Amino acid sequence: MPDLPSRGRCHATFLLAYSARVRHCVDAEAWITAALDKPTHMAASLDLNGTAELLLDVGLAKVEGGVQIMHELSKLDQAADLSTLKGIARLLIVRRPPDWLRSSVVEGQLATEFIPAQDLEALSWLGPDLDPIIVAAHQQLYGRQDDDLLKRIGDAGELMIIAALHALNRQPRHVSLVSDRFGYDIELNSQQYRYGLEIKTVVPSTADRVLLSRHEFDVAARMADRWKIVQIAISSIAVVRGVVCAADVICIRELSSSSLVQMAPPDTSTFQWSESAEFHPLDSMWSPSDLQVPSNFTFSLRA
């Protein structure tokens, strides 16, 4: 993506913002000339023309009685240190979001599998701040929309498992449509027992963790071997495409309630659960599922 905030793009942005502050620039040409006059060996090698066009296009600068820099950017024109350049990177991502930004944050964490390799390389200068910068920009832009997408992904997983159970004539009951107080999403009944399945839909980057509410955990502990997690992993491409089909299923596996209880420390005077917890089960704790999503299954992730 040509407008991606590489280090060079961010340095050019700093020089242009600084130049507009210290010198009156009557137009864009004078603005670029002022930036080229700065005593830095980088100035001549930077794409100042393209960066000036970008800043004007995204509303971070305007030409009205001379070049004016908007407040968000003017706060970042004091010193060209690494923190300043990273602040500029976040600002540019928010003002000109790359195509992959919408789908690159899952459950509040960056999923780099959604970012093209060349873009990751261009952003590698951000180092360990890459994750918080992308996540913060995503939250600023999408916020509630992201919660809606996560719910749609979860709905897709539940419906895929429902379809797989129907294919086995298991007659599942989709109780999460009734209430979240059951402590599981799908109920199966036999003549003697009631079984609960908690469905977790993931993409590859989130498959190593399980988010569970305290209520779900308590129900799991109470129901023992009649409760389990069914994790269904779908391809990241499906999230980008906005439609999930059976071919997007990577794997389906199961985790017993006893494994969860084994991982969770008990409440003590110095430790107590809050509303939820994040578990990281070992691969050996998972078992493969015999469920298969019917080949004709499709579900739109768009509202």
* pLDDT of residue 292 exceeding 90: yes
Whole-angstrom distance, CA of residue 277 vs CA of residue 47: 47
Q: What is the pLDDT of residue 247?
A: 97
Whether the model pTM is above 0.85: no
| pLDDT tens-digit map of 21-33 | 888 999 999 999 9
Q: Is the dihedral of CA 207, 210, 211, 212 positive or negative?
A: positive
* pLDDT of residue 165 exceeding 90: yes
| pLDDT tens-digit map of 31-71 | 999 988 865 556 667 889 999 999 999 999 999 999 999 99
Whole-angstrom distance, CA of residue 80 vs CA of residue 49: 19
Whole-angstrom distance, CA of residue 66 vs CA of residue 242: 44
Residue ranges of domains in the chain: 7-142, 147-300
| pLDDT tens-digit map of 175-223 | 999 888 899 999 999 878 899 999 999 999 889 999 999 999 999 999 9
Q: What percent of the chain has pLDDT over 90?
A: 69
CATH T-level topology, domain 147-300: Trna Endonuclease; Chain: A, domain 1 (3.40.1350)
